[in-house]
Amino acid sequence: MTEEKDSRLLAISEKVAAGSRISADEGLHLYQEAGLGYLARLATLVRNRLNGKTVWFNRNFHIEPTNICIHNCRFCSYSRKFNQEGAWEMTPEEILAEIERFRDKNVTEVHIVGGVHPHRDMEYYESMLRAVRTANPGLFIKAFTAVELDFMFKKSRITVDEGLRKLKTAGLDAIPGGGAEIFDETIRKTICPDKSDSQTWLGIHEAAHRAGIPTNATMLYGHIESYSHRIDHLERLRTLQDRTSGFQVFIPLKYRKANNPLGIVGETSAIEDLRNFAVGRIYLDNFPHIKAYWPMIGKEMASLSLSCGVDDLDGTIEDTTRIYSMAGAEDQNPAMSEEELVSLIRNAGYVASERDTLYNTLKVH
């Protein structure tokens, strides 16, 4: 059936155009039946309604303090056990040296995430935050996935609410979206059997929102999940966001197959990646932003993603994130100057706006 003759697709597009919410069944129908052009047009309606012609970026850098991890996620190319070749642990001095290295580069945010190190407890992470805050008081600190937080709170035998309160006092400004993967319990059992479960991930984000800490949400897609699993994931995020409004942005993460045991399943096509951005934008009508992490997908795909609902580009400054380069990301040494990023955005027909972590405008280019 062509899209024009699919009355269900037409009904969905009328709903989206009227600003109404689509159901889980309708989301699934979009994934199953709508072509890229159709989805791109609908997603653009939603993105223009929420963000006009603006595409945001921020000047951030990443620190990965360790890749030693207690978990055994089958999609992970990066984690190591103690004494295994390729394992690293940064000392507090090395972390501060990174903060120093970026001092004069006009950055506004540091993103700190790593493996779940078995010996690190609350005290360690609180003192890391305090040291970073003291070294550069103006820097926003976006740190620790819900999976890292789950471990540190349990290790230190404190509640989630208490743990978040302590970390906030020590300097935590925002929480990144990692560790969400796919919420469906059966898929999770196969791809990340021993890590924090979906309820824990969602519970920590809900508690963060209650505590006034904004968070991000990701979805790792393109491995063994079906479209229904993706919709279930989006639905759980949309439901929580209805309650809290604490999510700032949704970031779909394309599964990359290099150097990890799941590799056998292959990777999604570029068309499928763009369709996925678009369905995310259409379905998550209560998420203000959709982000593409360009070092993972490459500059050309980042540019195309702007026509599929994406309004935020991440990975602005000498991105040295190893979780992707080790998994086979498009760009092994990703770096984009501000001029390059701004012209990528302008050439796609949008207005580039530098933002801070909370999406306040710092400069319109």
By the criterion CB under 6 A, which residues form the site for ligand SF4?
69, 71, 73, 76, 78-79, 115-116, 147, 192, 195
Closest-by-Cβ residue to ligand V47 is 178
Structure tokens that stand for 69 in this block: 């991890």
Question: Of ligand SF4, ligand V47, none, which one sits near residue 79, judging by CB under 5 to 8 A according to partner kind?
Answer: ligand SF4
Residues between 129 and 188 with contacts to ligand V47, criterion CB under 6 A: 176-179, 181
Question: Of ligand SF4, ligand V47, none, which one sits near residue 181, judging by CB under 5 to 8 A according to partner kind?
Answer: ligand V47
x/- map, 22-61, ligand V47, by CB under 6 A: ----------------------------------------
Query: Closest separation between CB of residue 290 and ligand SF4, Å?
Result: 22
Nearer to ligand SF4, 113 or 341 (CB): 113
Tell me the DSSP string of 251-296.
EEEE---TTSGGGGG----HHHHHHHHHHHHHH-TT-SEEEEEHHH
Q: Is 248 exposed, middle or buried (0-12, 13-18, 19+ CB in 10 A)?
A: buried
Three-state SS for 113? Answer: coil
Question: Of ligand V47, ligand SF4, none, which one sits near residue 218, judging by CB under 5 to 8 A according to partner kind?
Answer: ligand V47
Which of 66, 323, 70 has its CA nearest to residue 194?
70
Nearer to ligand V47, 176 or 309 (CB): 176
Question: Of ligand V47, ligand SF4, none, which one sits near residue 116, judging by CB under 5 to 8 A according to partner kind?
Answer: ligand SF4
Which of 60, 48, 57 has its CA nearest to residue 342?
57
- CA-to-CA distance for 322 and 267, rounded, in angstroms? 19
Residues between 203 and 242 with contacts to ligand V47, criterion CB under 6 A: 216, 218, 220
Nearer to ligand V47, 163 or 334 (CB): 334
CA–CA distances in Å: residue 132 to residues 68, 104, 278, 294 = 21, 15, 37, 26
Nearer to ligand SF4, 200 or 228 (CB): 200
Residues between 294 and 313 with contacts to ligand V47, criterion CB under 6 A: none
Nearer to ligand V47, 310 or 323 (CB): 323
Nearer to ligand SF4, 61 or 75 (CB): 75
- CA-to-CA distance for 28 and 226, rounded, in angstroms? 10
Extended beta strands in the chain, E state: 54-57, 60-63, 109-112, 140-143, 215-221, 247-254, 289-293, 312-314, 351-355, 361-364
Residues between 248 and 287 with contacts to ligand V47, criterion CB under 6 A: 251, 253, 255-256, 260
Which of 139, 130, 7, 147 has its CA nearest to residue 71?
147
Nearer to ligand SF4, 113 or 282 (CB): 113
The torsion angles phi and psi of 11, rounded to 5 degrees, stand at -65, -40
Question: Of ligand SF4, ligand V47, none, which one sits near residue 115, judging by CB under 5 to 8 A according to partner kind?
Answer: ligand SF4
CA–CA distances in Å: residue 33 to residues 3, 30, 278 = 8, 5, 13
The residues binding ligand V47 (CB under 6 A) are 75-77, 176-179, 181, 216, 218, 220, 251, 253, 255-256, 260, 293, 314, 323, 327
